[in-house]
Amino acid sequence: MKRPTLLATFVLTALVALIGVFAIGPSLQDTSAQDTATLGHPLVGTWLADTDPEDQTNALETFTFTSDGAYIAAEADGWVSLGSWEATGATTANLTIVSYESDEEGTNFGSVTIRATIEVAADGNSFTAQYTFEFTDPAGVSDGEAGPGTATGTRLVVEGPGTPVISLDELFASFEGTPEASPEATPTS
């Protein structure tokens, strides 16, 4: 598929999904699983988070806190985490994330639970958090929590597009011939 067609398909798919969210969203508002204390809380939104501020080389993660208490995170390596959060005050919250680990064959390695306390700054555009890890083996046995770790976050703000300095055709052409863009350039054994 040519890149302009791929881009058009992506844009059309995104628009259809957005229309679906607006069409279905209002009907789901009454089915919130969490307390309404999360509605209007300054934590609601998407954040660029640093889960190890002392390491200047680590990639940021993207956290989303929804108004109904759901948590979704995407790490730079593609790992996705899900959890729940609840307001504990006007600018504070608790978060719990549970992930299960397995290998390629599906062998259960147990779970990891992350528990965090979060405080949003007065301006609503940053947060700090303290968290712990708890590893549980497949039999449900844990040695307890480890920590605390520290995380910081900066609110992702909406920006309109700027003035382009290159066309999309030029951008995509710049990838041609690179190993990532050319499967035939990848050596096989």
Q: Does residue 97 belong to any structural domain of this protein?
A: yes
Q: Does residue 188 belong to any structural domain of this protein?
A: no
Rg (C-alpha) for the chain, rounded Å, is: 21
> For residues 68 and 93, what is the distance between their CA atoms, to the nearest angstrom?
13
Q: Does residue 125 belong to any structural domain of this protein?
A: yes
What is the torsion angle, in degrees rounded to the nearest 10, for the CA atoms of residue 68, residue 70, residue 76 and residue 77?
Answer: -150
Q: Does residue 89 belong to any structural domain of this protein?
A: yes
Output the pTM of the full model: 0.70
What is the tally of helices (H) and strands (E) in the chain?
2, 8
> For residues 29 and 8, what is the distance between their CA atoms, to the nearest angstrom?
32
pLDDT score at 77: 87
Q: Does residue 187 belong to any structural domain of this protein?
A: no
Give the burial class of 172: count Cβ atoms within 10 A of its Cβ; 0-12 exposed, 13-18 middle, 19 or more buried. Answer: middle
pLDDT score at 101: 85
Q: Does residue 167 belong to any structural domain of this protein?
A: no
Range of the domain at 100: 33-157
pLDDT score at 76: 87
> Which three-class secondary structure state does DSSP give residue 175?
helix
Whichever domain contains 150, its CATH number is 2.40.128
| Number of structural domains in the chain | 1
Torsions phi, psi of 172, nearest 5?
-65, -35
Q: Which residue shows structure tokens 């302009």?
A: 4
pLDDT in tens for each of the 189 residues of the chain? 444 443 444 443 443 343 343 444 444 444 444 455 788 999 999 999 999 999 999 999 999 999 999 999 998 888 889 999 999 999 999 999 999 888 888 888 999 999 999 999 999 999 999 999 999 999 999 999 999 999 999 999 999 999 999 999 999 998 887 666 545 544 555
